[in-house]
Structure 1
Amino acid sequence: MIILYNLSIFLMRAGLRLAALFHPKAKSFVTGRKGLLQKIQADYATNTAPVVWVHCASLGEFEQGRPVIEGLRKVFPKIRIVLTFFSPSGYDVRKHYQGADHVYYLPWDTAANAKRFVKAIKPTLAIFVKYEFWHHYTQALAANRTTILSISSIFRPDQLFFKPYGGFYRKILKRISHFFVQNDESLKLLKAIGLNHCTRSGDTRFDRVYQIVKQAEELPTIQNFKNHQKIFVVGSSWSEDIDVLIPLINENRMKFIIAPHEISEQNLISLERALQVKSIRYSQTTNINLEDFQVLIIDNVGMLSKLYRYGEFAFIGGAYGKGLHNILEAACYGVPIFFGNKNYTKFKEAVDLINRGGAFDVADYTDLKMKYEMVTLPESFLLACEVTRQYVEENLGATEKILTYCEATLRAKNTAA
Structure 2
Amino acid sequence: MTLFYTLIVHIIKRLLPVAGWFYPKIRPFYKGRQSQKDYQSFDKKPHDKVIWMHCASLGEFEQGRPVLEKLKEELPTYKILLTFFSPSGYEIRKNYDKVAWVCYLPWDTPRDVNIFLDYFQPDMALFVKYEIWPNTLRSLKKRQIPTVLFSGIFRAGQPYFKYHWFKQLLHSFDMFFVQDERSLQLLQDNGIKHVSLSGDTRFDRVYDISRNPVDLPLIQAFVNHHKVLVAGSTWPKDEALLVQYINQSAQPDEKFIIAPHVIDESHILQIERSLTQSYRRYSRLSSGDSVDFQVLIIDSIGLLSQLYRFAQLAYIGGGFGVGIHNILEAATYGVPILIGPNYQKFKEAKDLIQTGACISVDSVEQGVKSIERLMADTDLCHSLGQESQAYISAHTGATSSVVNYVLEQQNMST
TM-score by length of 2: 0.94
Q: Is the 8 A contact 2:82 2:102 kept in 1?
A: yes
Amino acid at match of 1:345: Q
Structure 1 residues 360 and 42: CA distance shift in structure 2, 3 A: closer
Q: What CA distance in whole angstroms lies between the structure 1 residues aligned with 2:378 and 2:63?
A: 35
Partner of 1:385: 385
Q: What CA distance in whole angstroms lies between the structure 2 residues aligned with 1:34 and 1:265?
A: 30
Q: Is the 8 A contact 2:52 2:124 kept in 1?
A: yes
Partner of 2:397: 397
Match among 225, 239, 249 for residue 242 of structure 1: 239
Question: For 1:344-383, what aligned pairs fall within 5 Å after superposition?
Answer: 344-375=343-374, 376-377=376-377, 380-383=380-383
Q: What CA distance in whole angstroms lies between the structure 2 residues aligned with 1:15 and 1:392?
A: 45
Q: What CA distance in whole angstroms lies between the structure 2 residues aligned with 1:183 and 1:278?
A: 45
Q: What CA distance in whole angstroms lies between the structure 2 residues aligned with 1:107 and 1:281?
A: 39
Partner of 1:311: 311
C-alpha deviation, 1:83, in angstroms: 1.0
Amino acid at match of 1:179: F
C-alpha deviation, 1:285, in angstroms: 2.7
Q: What CA distance in whole angstroms lies between the structure 2 residues aligned with 1:193 and 1:110?
A: 27
Partner of 2:217: 220
C-alpha deviation, 1:193, in angstroms: 0.7
Q: Is the 8 A contact 2:232 2:315 kept in 1?
A: yes
C-alpha deviation, 1:142, in angstroms: 1.3
Question: For 1:260-339, what aligned pairs fall within 5 Å after superposition?
Answer: 260-286=260-286, 287-290=288-291, 292-339=292-339
Moved more, 377-386 or 60-69: 377-386
Helix, strand or coil: the match of 2:314? strand
Structure 1 residues 161 and 283: CA distance shift in structure 2, 3 A: closer
Q: Is the 8 A contact 2:331 2:392 kept in 1?
A: yes
C-alpha deviation, 1:320, in angstroms: 1.6
Partner of 1:252: 250
Q: Are positions 1:206 and 2:203 aligned together?
A: yes
Q: Is the 8 A contact 2:53 2:81 kept in 1?
A: yes
Q: Is the 8 A contact 1:162 1:193 kept in 2?
A: yes
C-alpha deviation, 1:40, in angstroms: 4.9
Question: For 1:133-212, what aligned pairs fall within 5 Å after superposition?
Answer: 133-163=132-162, 166-212=163-209
Structure 1 residues 331 and 26: CA distance shift in structure 2, 3 A: same
C-alpha deviation, 1:371, in angstroms: 2.7
Q: What CA distance in whole angstroms lies between the structure 1 residues aligned with 2:300 and 2:275?
A: 19
Which whole-Å deviations, capped at 9, do the CAs of 1:140-169 have from their partners, x for residues lacking one? 111211110001111000011111xx1111
Moved more, 262-271 or 59-68: 262-271
Q: Is the 8 A contact 2:334 2:382 kept in 1?
A: no
C-alpha deviation, 1:383, in angstroms: 3.2
Amino acid at match of 2:214: E
Helix, strand or coil: the match of 1:120? helix
TM-score by length of 1: 0.94
Task: Report the aligned-residue RMSD.
Answer: 1.7
Moved more, 177-186 or 248-257: 248-257
Which stretches in structure 2 are left out of the alignment for 5+ residues?
A: none
Q: What CA distance in whole angstroms lies between the structure 2 residues aligned with 1:104 and 1:405?
A: 25
Q: What CA distance in whole angstroms lies between the structure 1 residues aligned with 2:197 and 2:330?
A: 24
Helix, strand or coil: the match of 2:246? helix
Q: Is the 8 A contact 1:122 1:144 kept in 2?
A: no
Partner of 2:84: 85
Which whole-Å deviations, capped at 9, do the CAs of 1:77-110 have from their partners, x for residues lacking one? 1111111111111111111111111111111111
Q: What CA distance in whole angstroms lies between the structure 2 residues aligned with 1:257 and 1:120?
A: 46
Amino acid at match of 2:231: V
Question: For 1:37-52, what aligned pairs fall within 5 Å after superposition?
Answer: 37-40=37-40, 43-44=43-44, 46-52=45-51
Q: Is the 8 A contact 1:236 1:259 kept in 2?
A: yes
Structure 1 residues 99 and 146: CA distance shift in structure 2, 3 A: same
Q: What CA distance in whole angstroms lies between the structure 1 residues aligned with 2:250 and 2:155?
A: 42
Q: Are positions 1:30 and 2:27 aligned together?
A: no
Helix, strand or coil: the match of 1:273? helix
Which whole-Å deviations, capped at 9, do the CAs of 1:318-358 have from their partners, x for residues lacking one? 222233111111111111111211x3221211121112211
C-alpha deviation, 1:264, in angstroms: 2.2
Q: What CA distance in whole angstroms lies between the structure 2 residues aligned with 1:35 and 1:372?
A: 49
C-alpha deviation, 1:129, in angstroms: 0.8
Which stretches in structure 1 are left out of the alignment for 5+ residues?
A: none
Partner of 1:11: 11
C-alpha deviation, 1:379, in angstroms: 5.9
Structure 1 residues 293 and 378: CA distance shift in structure 2, 3 A: closer
Q: What CA distance in whole angstroms lies between the structure 2 residues aligned with 1:174 and 1:315?
A: 40
Q: What CA distance in whole angstroms lies between the structure 2 residues aligned with 1:41 and 1:170?
A: 37
C-alpha deviation, 1:60, in angstroms: 0.9
Partner of 1:229: 226
Q: Is the 8 A contact 2:231 2:314 kept in 1?
A: yes
Amino acid at match of 1:65: G
Q: What CA distance in whole angstroms lies between the structure 2 residues aligned with 1:8 and 1:360?
A: 43
Helix, strand or coil: the match of 1:37? coil
Identity of aligned residues (%): 42
Amino acid at match of 2:246: I
How many residues are matched?
409
Moved more, 67-76 or 11-20: 11-20
C-alpha deviation, 1:35, in angstroms: 5.0
Which whole-Å deviations, capped at 9, do the CAs of 1:335-394 have from their partners, x for residues lacking one? 1111211x3221211121112211111122211133334445466433311111111111
Amino acid at match of 2:289: I
Q: What CA distance in whole angstroms lies between the structure 2 residues aligned with 1:191 and 1:78?
A: 36
